[in-house]
Amino acid sequence: MLKPKALRSGDRLAVVAPASGFDRSEFELGLAELRALGFDPVYDEDVFARLGYVAGEASQRAEAFRKAWRDPDIAGLVGARGGYGSVQLLPWLPPDELRLNPKVFLGYSDLTSVLVHLTTGCGVVGFHGPTVIGRLAKGEAAYDRESLERVTMMAKPAGEFAPDGLETVNSGEATGTLLGGTLTQLVASLGTPYAFAPQKPFLLFVDEVGERPYRLDRMLTQLRLGGVLAAASAVIWGELPSCDEPTGCPTARATAADLLADFRGPVVFGFPSGHTRRAALTLPLGVRARLIADDRPRLIFEEAAVS
């Protein structure tokens, strides 16, 4: 995997909008938080474009992404928000160009489409971390500053992540490249030239929000039938907020356990990255890690994410 250069205080970060539009006041709050982190956020006026439910024409959004990626004065890119639309950019994001000058790209939710393209399509490390809207705009109550800095600013293995509330579902230990993101986008990629098709061994991270248990079942079953699950050596579920049945039964936690009852490797539930009601941890995708699922489940990064 190709690694971007470590971010440093004072670096210019381009804010891009690969998916949906956003509220201008929240945008300004998110920029203020990036400045509080020591960065210099910059953006083109095209970031405010609107076309129905997306932030402008796909070609326009892709060109803004490519322009920032090519700019030697830009150290990294941060997604404005998720929503929908990132998948539309993929035909305009050539792998050779992205591999030529790897940079930090931060995002989650719908931006999983871009993260999958970077990691499994281009061989570039990506970062499942806060977007400007929703996370950074709400300050440190909504994102974990320490993990963000640890994985993007330090050229050494990030070490152990053992967040409170992480539960062992299937015990065991496994090592592999951490990959994944929002389940909806992982499944939507299958059957396309940009399919989520990791090589063994890999640790599958699964995030989601607002999807009822039968939908989680349908999507994970598709990953199973598509051969993706068979290639995974472990599964790390996010917190899956708002995914319980409205009646309270079954819960997302119970569904996640049932779906992987026969899985041969370790499984944990409740990792707070992406969609979480807590401060979201930033995860580097595309680097070697070890999952230990016992009475103190933990994820240990054995490889640096940046150079």
How confident is the model over 3-40, as pLDDT tens digits?
Answer: 999 999 999 999 999 999 999 999 999 999 999 999 99
Confidence of residue 258 (pLDDT cuts 50, 70, 90): very high
Does some domain include residue 5? no
Domain that residue 186 falls in: 159-301
pLDDT for position 68: 98
Does some domain include residue 2? no
How confident is the model over 143-177, as pLDDT tens digits?
Answer: 999 999 999 999 999 999 999 999 999 999 999 99
CA distances, 136 to each of 25, 34, 207, 248 (Å): 12, 7, 19, 31
Nearest of 5, 124, 38, 30 to residue 80 by alpha carbon:
30
**Backbone phi, then psi, for 157, in 5-degree steps?**
-55, 140
pLDDT tops 90 at residue 224: yes
Helix orientation angle between 252-259 and 213-225, rounded to the nearest 10 degrees: 20
Does some domain include residue 6? no
Sequence-ordered alpha helix ranges (H) in 71-182: 95-100, 112-116, 145-153
Pair 124, 96: CB distance under 8 Å: no
- Residues 257, 169: Cα–Cα separation, whole Å: 6
pLDDT for position 134: 84
pLDDT tops 90 at residue 107: yes
- Residues 116, 180: Cα–Cα separation, whole Å: 7
- Whether pTM exceeds 0.75: yes
Does some domain include residue 74? yes
Mark whether 148 and 214 lie in a shared domain: no
CATH code for position 103: 3.40.50.10740
pLDDT for position 59: 96
Mark whether 171 and 134 lie in a shared domain: no
CA dihedral 281, 283, 288, 290 (to 10 degrees): 30
pLDDT tops 90 at residue 125: yes
- Residues 256, 253: Cα–Cα separation, whole Å: 5
